[in-house]
Structure 1
Amino acid sequence: SSYLKGRSFVRTRPRRSPRGWIIVKGARRNNLKGVSVAFPLGILCAIGGVSGSGKSTLVDVLAEGLREMRKGSVPHGVDAIEIRGGVQKVVVVDQSPPGRDPRSNPATYTGAFRFIREIFSRTYAARVKGWGPERFSFNVRGGRCEVCKGQGRVRVKLGFLPEVFVTCEHCGGTRYEREVLEVKYKGLNIAEVLDMTVNEAVGFFRNIPQVKERLEPLKWVGLGYLKLGQPLSTLSGGEAQRLKMARELVSGPRDTLYILDEPTTGLHPTEVQKLIGLLDRLLDEGASIVVIEHNIDFLLQADYIIELGPGGGDEGGEVVLEGPPEEVLRDPRSSLSGHLRRLKGEP
């Protein structure tokens, strides 16, 4: 009930102050009418406004312009972009699948699997056989099941019907040859480790910092239920976006500008809070974040709002308001102010 009453989104931390600015001057693309916008650095900046007001176009101009400047080119669709502060890298985090390889999973994507394979190669049973870490890879010949090529399942064609995947009969879905599965670490073989959830693995490898530190951010973003060996192709768009953000926490986000497009789509209010917690961690590490968002609960948590409008299509493309959420959402010109009043139970 606290979510219905808006209590769970009461802000607990003070607003951050900008550490610098990126100033976009004269942006002209689609319905943007030569607008100039100052994006704050070092804080959570949300881009709001009605549908079709130019939010995505403005952020595209920002991201593409910064990339072109990094290459020494002149940015297109804008008069100038001026950077007053530290931005070394721009990362656009969308909801597309995070791994192109069908074998990609949370263990490989986070980099934890490399260390897990090394752990198995250092066991007595592996050293006796002279096996290195590559023997415990499902991507190369040696230890993987060659019937399914380490995927744990095989594709079956059924005449005119769509292809289906079935569990590999040779390895039983484990991905490995039987002799590899005889090697155990703390009572478990490599396939059983891949069948663990992230939550279980963080506890299992609590004394192995290289593994724990790469998996723990997944817990922070509410992905602790994922199995280490779960194909990334099975993740939803929201899960994929949070997985990418979790990996960024491992790599070190200082002086990085992150751009997200409606990351709360499909998330339960508890997951929205976890996402905000993750963004706070990135900001604490020295990142800057720009988010396109319509979720009023999320907007209340932002440090700064830039609202485009006043309408959509030809009626949009202008900056209506900008500033802290309290100021923007109370302004009668804001398309968001009505939502805020309803959230607070005001007429």
Structure 2
Amino acid sequence: FIVAADWIIDLGPGAGPRGGHVVAHGSVADICQSPESVTGQMLQRMGIQQQPTSEKLTANDGKTPVATARSMLKLSDCCRHNLQNITVEIPVGVVTGVAGVSGSGKTTVVFEGLLPALQQQLGLSSDASHNPGTLDGANDFAQVMVIDKGLPGRSPIATPATLSGVWIEFRRLYAQIREARRLGLTAERFSYRHPDSRCPGCRGTGSILVSDLNGATWWSTCPECHGRRFNRSTQTVAYRGFTVADLLSLTIEVARQHFTALPRIARGLDTLQGLGLGYLPLGQSGTTLSGGELQRLWLGRCLSRGMPGVTLYLLDEPTAGLHAAEIELLVKALRQLTAAGHTVVVIEHSLEFLRQVDWLIELGPGSGPAGGRVIASGTPHDLAACATPTGEALRFTGHMLSN
């Protein structure tokens, strides 16, 4: 069952009403010696009865084993919805994936257990309508950041430039241009939301909402500014031939090529490029961004700006619509967060993503009343040796091969 973890938690002994108990915990040898542990029996049948001596999967930069994480976040007595009064332990300072079949309790344990429990400890929430459980090991955390499909940005006023935070650096740059200073234009004036700078026809959105006789509505390019968002007077200021409206038409990749000499701008664009978003125009309307693109833009904002204090990042299926190569870029970005001392917890179904995380927690074994239990935890290689839905999927699809 476990080939690299230092500690195992085995829940059972059976399914449904027959489960919900911690039947064994400890090392591989401890699990194998427990008469009630189905996991221990399976390990013995596989000929694994003690801790392997092979090199463990490692976290972050490949030098620090997961088992040496600074501490563990421990959420106890979590019994929301179908969760059966479970205890979940999450290593601090690494990327943890939360897996399981649909309806197994992943969203509940993360967003109705872990999130409100930490918010209450940080004084960010006074909601006492339900008890999310008891959280230990969170004293070092200063804040929690949720990155999911519900993030703001689904409006025509939002763009990759603004969502990522790089636009404010462009505005500051343009305010320093001699012509801008002569005209008295500050950084605020280079916002397409400013009343004196935006197109009066579309109010800076670059598009207008139209409807037909049947009541159907859609966004159409503004006939006055032709999607450029700014009025003509604001477009008299240019940097190396580019007005602010011109910038919005550039893709992130092309803009990166033109602004490599400006560190603050280049850093933000490099981060977005590293997340696989180089194809997006800086001024693309937020209404046309996918959920995966939106999450990566916010992630890029966090990476380029940094977060004050140790942060717990919670992500909900950020790989939606991503190619395997893009998933690899996403994992690299998440490791940048953990390298900076933060902790990342991701709800995911993607096997390509799950095989690359530092630690996996699987809920199940089934959905609804048949789920709600921690049925496995450990490194991806640990779960690939486990007879659980995720373990079997990793193993039989060839995602987890022998070391």
* TM-score where L is the length of structure 1: 0.88
The answer to whether the Cα contact below 8 Å between 2:155 and 2:285 also exists between their aligned partners in 1 is no
- Equivalent residue for 1:87? 141
| Alpha carbons of structure 1 residues 191 and 305: separation in structure 2 relative to 1, 3 Å | same
AA aligned to 1:64 is: P
| Alpha carbons of structure 1 residues 328 and 166: separation in structure 2 relative to 1, 3 Å | closer
| Alpha carbons of structure 1 residues 59 and 219: separation in structure 2 relative to 1, 3 Å | same
Deviation per CA, 1:211-270: give whole Å up to 9, x if none: 222222111111111111112221101111111111111232452111112222221111
- State the Cα distance separating 1:344 from its structure 2 match: 2.9
- State the Cα distance separating 1:97 from its structure 2 match: 4.6
Which runs of no fewer than 5 residues in structure 2 stay unpaired?
1-58
| Alpha carbons of structure 1 residues 68 and 149: separation in structure 2 relative to 1, 3 Å | same
- Percent of matched pairs sharing the same residue: 36
Moved more, 73-82 or 228-237: 73-82
Q: Which aligned pairs between 1:1-347 and structure 2 lie closer than 5 A?
A: 13=62, 15-16=65-66, 17-60=68-111, 61-71=113-123, 76-83=130-137, 86-99=140-153, 102-253=156-307, 255-332=310-387, 334-344=388-398
The answer to whether the Cα contact below 8 Å between 1:97 and 1:235 also exists between their aligned partners in 2 is no
| Alpha carbons of structure 1 residues 185 and 41: separation in structure 2 relative to 1, 3 Å | same
The answer to whether the Cα contact below 8 Å between 2:118 and 2:138 also exists between their aligned partners in 1 is no
* TM-score where L is the length of structure 2: 0.77
- State the Cα distance separating 1:139 from its structure 2 match: 0.7
| Alpha carbons of structure 1 residues 342 and 336: separation in structure 2 relative to 1, 3 Å | same
- State the Cα distance separating 1:187 from its structure 2 match: 1.2
- State the Cα distance separating 1:159 from its structure 2 match: 2.6
Q: Secondary structure at the match of 1:301?
A: coil
The answer to whether the Cα contact below 8 Å between 2:235 and 2:243 also exists between their aligned partners in 1 is yes
- Equivalent residue for 1:3? none
| Alpha carbons of structure 1 residues 70 and 268: separation in structure 2 relative to 1, 3 Å | same
Q: How many Å separate the matches in 2 of 1:161 and 1:296?
A: 43
Q: Secondary structure at the match of 2:88?
A: strand
The answer to whether the Cα contact below 8 Å between 2:99 and 2:348 also exists between their aligned partners in 1 is yes
The answer to whether the Cα contact below 8 Å between 2:386 and 2:392 also exists between their aligned partners in 1 is no
Q: How many Å separate the matches in 2 of 1:274 and 1:240?
A: 15
Q: Secondary structure at the match of 1:38?
A: strand
The answer to whether the Cα contact below 8 Å between 2:105 and 2:364 also exists between their aligned partners in 1 is yes
Q: Secondary structure at the match of 1:166?
A: strand
Q: How many Å separate the matches in 2 of 1:217 and 1:34?
A: 41
- State the Cα distance separating 1:184 from its structure 2 match: 1.6
Which runs of no fewer than 5 residues in structure 1 stay unpaired?
1-10
| Alpha carbons of structure 1 residues 51 and 151: separation in structure 2 relative to 1, 3 Å | closer
| Alpha carbons of structure 1 residues 151 and 80: separation in structure 2 relative to 1, 3 Å | closer
- State the Cα distance separating 1:133 from its structure 2 match: 2.7
The answer to whether the Cα contact below 8 Å between 1:47 and 1:291 also exists between their aligned partners in 2 is yes
The answer to whether the Cα contact below 8 Å between 2:97 and 2:348 also exists between their aligned partners in 1 is yes
Deviation per CA, 1:111-143: give whole Å up to 9, x if none: 322232232233233333333333322112223
| Alpha carbons of structure 1 residues 79 and 139: separation in structure 2 relative to 1, 3 Å | closer
Q: CA RMSD in A?
A: 2.4
Moved more, 322-331 or 94-103: 94-103
Q: How many Å separate the matches in 1 of 2:174 and 2:330?
A: 34
AA aligned to 1:33 is: Q
| Alpha carbons of structure 1 residues 139 and 90: separation in structure 2 relative to 1, 3 Å | same
AA aligned to 1:42 is: G
Q: How many Å separate the matches in 1 of 2:215 and 2:271?
A: 41
Q: How many Å separate the matches in 1 of 2:147 and 2:361?
A: 19
AA aligned to 1:98 is: P
Deviation per CA, 1:269-311: give whole Å up to 9, x if none: 1111111111111111111011122222222212111122222
Q: How many Å separate the matches in 2 of 1:133 and 1:344?
A: 53
Q: How many Å separate the matches in 2 of 1:143 and 1:340?
A: 54
Q: Secondary structure at the match of 2:237?
A: coil
- Equivalent residue for 2:55? none
